[in-house]
Chain A
Amino acid sequence: MEAHLRPLCSPTAILCPKPSNSKLPQLLQRPTSFTSRFWYTVSTKLSSSCRFPPTVLLGTPDSQVSTGLNTDTREWAMQDFYFLRRDVETTVARVKETRDSACLQQLEQEVADLELKAADSSFWDDRAKAQENLSALTDVKDRIRLLNEFKSQVEDAETIIKLTEEMDSVDNGLLEEAASIIKELNKGLDRFELTQLLSGPYDKEGAVIFITAGAGGTDAQDWAEMLLRMYVRWGEKQRYKTRVVEKSQGEEAGIKSATIEVEGRYAYGYLSGEKGTHRIVRQSPFNAKGLRQTSFSGIDVMPLLPEESLKVDLPEEDLEISFSRAGGKGGQNVNKVESAVRITHIPTGVTVRCTEERSQLANKIKALSRLKAKLLVIAEEQRASEIKQIRGDVVKAEWGQQIRNYVFHPYKLVKDVRTGYDTSDITSVMDGDLEPYIKAYLKHKYSMKVTAAGVV
């Protein structure tokens, strides 16, 4: 151990790097950030005494006490070092890519703009708006901080690699440090990328999922119920508040339709890609001959938007509101808890229904806000600045295209039509293990967006 460390003890190795590597002195001069503190510790200890245990180097700022000496001090084979070096190189590239695509300059401009607004004397006149502004400011600042952290962390790892190369020997502790930096950094980059992918205006909101059994009778209704279970499981796994607010039973088995409300951050962002037709192929338990059967169910997803954010004006005359009320003379003659409300937006043909509330007015209010949310999303998708500009014909394709196949028989396979992602572990998928599908779709969507932007 001592022998390995000795070259490091020469202060020049650290304090006088080659001119091309100017990062280290900078780090040393910034005592505020975590990484620089780390390096500061190293250099002072190095100059004062050569006889420190290697674990000190490894210690995070929180715990500089020696723990887990055995694992930390395992010998680094040359091969390991090359792997690590490759990892560091890839991560350097990834950080650069992330920072480039995040348009750091633009973000800084945004901060400047928002701060200017916040400084205005009339800023607090509109409280809601002010709050919105401030939270946007925090968001952007957080992003910038993260991006800078990525850079300094990857530079630390890079420095360790370079140092090791310059020295003829290997310092286990340093390399362990680099490896753990890279591991954490990649996790951080994953998280950052995902939030990048979820940058749509409503992605942060909760979501409402509508499930409708397709044609195909009992088999399709059973399929709809399987999907209902799948999404509820998914929601529970994400620790979202998941509630089945409406469920209409099928005659024999399964459900005709259901509505799930999923409350929690980014629920809509994750789920929005689930919108479409889901197809099942199996030996139907409802088919006496046990023949292979294909059924469909439609999934519609819209954001669960707070009332005050629905700044859409829908003129009365554009709306066709119908109330379901079981026949007869009505009024005092009838007492049924049938208070369903159905609203059609005439210009676009978009229709929503709300049956779960217990009074007509409550159903109407909820249906109206669902309609607004739906129109806002469609406007966003069609890049229309106003609801009026939405084209009805595009809207009418009810659940859009088929997005995913679930084959139970003759083989097991769940394959997403859009991303090509597939797995044969159909049980896990039906248990709500949708993460890989959701991530694959978000990446797919993001790359499509980037390509589209690149072409223009």
Chain B
Amino acid sequence: MKLSFSPKLSTFLKPSLVTNLHRSVCSSSISSPPPTSLIPQTPLFLKPPIHSAASSDLQKWHDWAKSLASSVGSTFVDLDNGPDSTLLCRELKWLMEDAIEEESEGLENNQRSIRLRVALEELYMLWKQRVEERRPFQYVVGCEHWRDLVLCVQEGVLIPRPETELIVDLVGDVVLGNEGLREGLWADLGTGSGAIAIGIGRILGTGGRVIATDLSPAAIGVAGFNVQRYGLQDVVELRQGSWFEPLKDMEGKLAGFVSNPPYIPSDDISGLQAEVGRHEPRVALDGGINGMDDLLHICKGAASMLKPGGFFAFETNGEKQCKHLVEYMENDAGGSFFNLKIVPDFAGIHRFVTGFHK
């Protein structure tokens, strides 16, 4: 089944139905939600600047927000490795960037009225949510800056992490000298906000295509918005369903696939940083008892999906999972892969497994 995403941008900009979206999505059955209900929230920076505030009032808000951030100190760090005041102040600066129509030169002229994309009262509420409820900053502003992209995100969709930026580079490296891969058909399994699919869609050749799948209709909705925003409707196709399921017609045809599936062991979920554990979709994080349920499922399907010479790359929880998966692919998968590699992320943690199909 193919979901088509051709509604005009104005449809996306309507804020109706949005507030309850993530809640309804989380509880909705996986099978067949009507696509019309998936209107993604407009990220703050794309909202029209129809509000305004005196610069003195905005300054008052800023001072309040800053002191709230400062009051945190290292409490969250000690509690669950959360953000400290410095990081919160950085977020505050970015929140201002997104909320204020033009970056103003300081806030010194008190008489000036400043155009805002959100009412001042809502700014108070948003920052309260950020600090007191630990709502992730990216959900507060509705977007995440990732690589050279600005992706819309919202509750119900995993916020793409900086580590994952590397997967696009890994694909970039293999398609560089290989026309077959560059002009081929790729898949991003569990695309979430569409980050990797869009990243790859932008580096493939003119003939290259990406099919991005996700179980969650919320994710499909958000990914559709992002694909549209980058004008990649003809390059990235979205299909709703679990892992390889919506790709049955593509068996043996894929030039490559990538995935950042849930890989956190179930027992670790409760101890996660509040921003992650309390607010991000569990379905995108929880990988079962040892965190490898979905990774193994994907590994099993890899051989039948990839065409000869096809490439794969996926993200893991670290060294232990990487080792285990490489062993699995070398032995149990009947030696149908070659050039298996473990690639560390920028922090030096063994994060990715890559390889080619024979």
If A242-B105, A359-B147 touch, does A331 touch B165 (CB 8 Å cutoff)? Answer: no
B91 near A334 with CB under 8 A, answer no
B315 near A331 with CB under 8 A, answer yes
Give which listed residue, B94, B276, B316, contacts A358 with CB less than 8 A.
B94
CA distance A325 to B163 in the complex (A): 10
Interface size class of A (residues with CB under 8 A): 20 to 34
A335, A336, A365 interface centre (most CB from chain B within 10 Å)? A335
CA distance A322 to B345 in the complex (A): 11
B161 near A334 with CB under 8 A, answer yes
What does the 1/0 interface line of A320-333 toward B look like (CB < 8 Å)? 01110111111111
Is A357 engaged at the interface, CB distance under 8 Å to the other chain? yes
Interface residues of B in 64-113 (CB under 8 A from A): 77, 81-83, 85-87, 89-91, 94, 103, 105-106
Give which listed residue, B137, B165, B284, contacts A359 with CB less than 8 A.
B165
Is B155 engaged at the interface, CB distance under 8 Å to the other chain? no
Is B243 engaged at the interface, CB distance under 8 Å to the other chain? no
Give which listed residue, A325, A333, A335, contacts B346 with CB less than 8 A.
A325
Is A243 engaged at the interface, CB distance under 8 Å to the other chain? yes
B315 near A361 with CB under 8 A, answer no
B165 near A330 with CB under 8 A, answer no
Give which listed residue, A328, A334, A335, A358, contacts B145 with CB less than 8 A.
A358
CA distance A123 to B90 in the complex (A): 48
- Minimum CB–CB distance for B82 against chain A, Å: 8
B279 and chain A: residue at smallest CB distance = A335
Q: Which residues of chain A come closer than 8 Å to B83, judged between CB atoms?
A: 336-337
Is B237 engaged at the interface, CB distance under 8 Å to the other chain? no
26 contacts between A and B (CB under 8 A): A248-B86, A249-B85, A323-B162, A325-B162, A325-B163, A326-B81, A329-B318, A331-B263, A331-B345, A331-B349, A332-B158, A332-B276, A332-B284, A333-B268, A333-B272, A333-B317, A334-B81, A334-B161, A335-B138, A335-B273, A335-B275, A335-B276, A336-B82, A337-B90, A360-B162, A365-B148
- Minimum CB–CB distance for A262 against chain B, Å: 12
Residues of A that sit less than 8 Å from B by CB: 232, 236, 242-243, 248-249, 321-323, 325-339, 355, 357-362, 365
Q: Which residues of chain A come closer than 8 Å to B260, judged between CB atoms?
A: 332
If A323-B347, A362-B148 touch, does A332 touch B263 (CB 8 Å cutoff)? Answer: yes
A333 near B91 with CB under 8 A, answer no
- Minimum CB–CB distance for A366 against chain B, Å: 11
Give which listed residue, A232, A249, A365, contacts B86 with CB less than 8 A.
A249
Besides A334-B81, A359-B165, 20 other CB < 8 A contacts?
Answer: A242-B105, A243-B103, A326-B77, A328-B273, A331-B163, A332-B262, A332-B263, A332-B285, A335-B161, A335-B273, A335-B275, A336-B82, A336-B87, A336-B273, A337-B83, A337-B90, A337-B91, A359-B148, A360-B147, A362-B147
- Minimum CB–CB distance for A387 against chain B, Å: 25
B81 near A335 with CB under 8 A, answer no
CA distance A328 to B106 in the complex (A): 36
- Minimum CB–CB distance for A356 against chain B, Å: 8
CA distance A299 to B173 in the complex (A): 39
Give which listed residue, A236, A326, A329, A361, contacts B349 with CB less than 8 A.
A329
- Count residues of B near A (Cβ-Cβ below 8 Å): 50
Give which listed residue, B89, B106, B149, B276, contacts A334 with CB less than 8 A.
B276
CA distance A248 to B83 in the complex (A): 15
B81 near A330 with CB under 8 A, answer no
B88 and chain A: residue at smallest CB distance = A337
Q: Which residues of chain B come closer than 8 Å to A232, judged between CB atoms?
A: 106
If A242-B105, A359-B145 touch, does A323 touch B81 (CB 8 Å cutoff)? Answer: no
Give which listed residue, B77, B87, B147, B347, contacts A337 with CB less than 8 A.
B87
B162 near A359 with CB under 8 A, answer yes
B162, B317, B345 interface centre (most CB from chain A within 10 Å)? B162
What does the 1/0 interface line of B275-312 toward A look like (CB < 8 Å)? 11000100011000000000000000000000000000
- Minimum CB–CB distance for A383 against chain B, Å: 36
- Minimum CB–CB distance for A251 against chain B, Å: 10
Residues of B that sit less than 8 Å from A by CB: 77, 81-83, 85-87, 89-91, 94, 103, 105-106, 136-138, 145-149, 158-159, 161-165, 260, 262-264, 268, 272-273, 275-276, 280, 284-285, 315-318, 345-347, 349, 351
A332 near B137 with CB under 8 A, answer no
- Minimum CB–CB distance for B86 against chain A, Å: 7
If A327-B81, A337-B137 touch, does A332 touch B161 (CB 8 Å cutoff)? Answer: yes
- Minimum CB–CB distance for A385 against chain B, Å: 32
- Minimum CB–CB distance for B172 against chain A, Å: 12
A334 and chain B: residue at smallest CB distance = B273
CA distance A330 to B165 in the complex (A): 13
Q: Which residues of chain A come closer than 8 Å to B105, judged between CB atoms?
A: 236, 242-243
CA distance A333 to B287 in the complex (A): 12
If A330-B351, A338-B87 touch, does A360 touch B165 (CB 8 Å cutoff)? Answer: yes
- Minimum CB–CB distance for A194 against chain B, Å: 26
CA distance A326 to B76 in the complex (A): 12
- Minimum CB–CB distance for A340 against chain B, Å: 10
CA distance A415 to B72 in the complex (A): 42
CA distance A331 to B91 in the complex (A): 20
B349 near A330 with CB under 8 A, answer yes
If A330-B349, A331-B163, A331-B345 touch, does A361 touch B147 (CB 8 Å cutoff)? Answer: yes
B345 near A330 with CB under 8 A, answer yes
CA distance A66 to B137 in the complex (A): 69
Q: Which residues of chain A come closer than 8 Å to B136, judged between CB atoms?
A: 335
- Minimum CB–CB distance for B160 against chain A, Å: 10
A333 near B165 with CB under 8 A, answer no
- Minimum CB–CB distance for A276 against chain B, Å: 27
A248, A322, A338, A358 interface centre (most CB from chain B within 10 Å)? A358
B148 near A331 with CB under 8 A, answer no
B164 and chain A: residue at smallest CB distance = A331
Q: Which residues of chain B come closer than 8 Å to A359, judged between CB atoms?
A: 145-149, 162, 165
B316 and chain A: residue at smallest CB distance = A331
- Minimum CB–CB distance for A327 against chain B, Å: 7
B87 near A360 with CB under 8 A, answer no
- Minimum CB–CB distance for A204 against chain B, Å: 23
A341 and chain B: residue at smallest CB distance = B346
- Minimum CB–CB distance for B324 against chain A, Å: 16
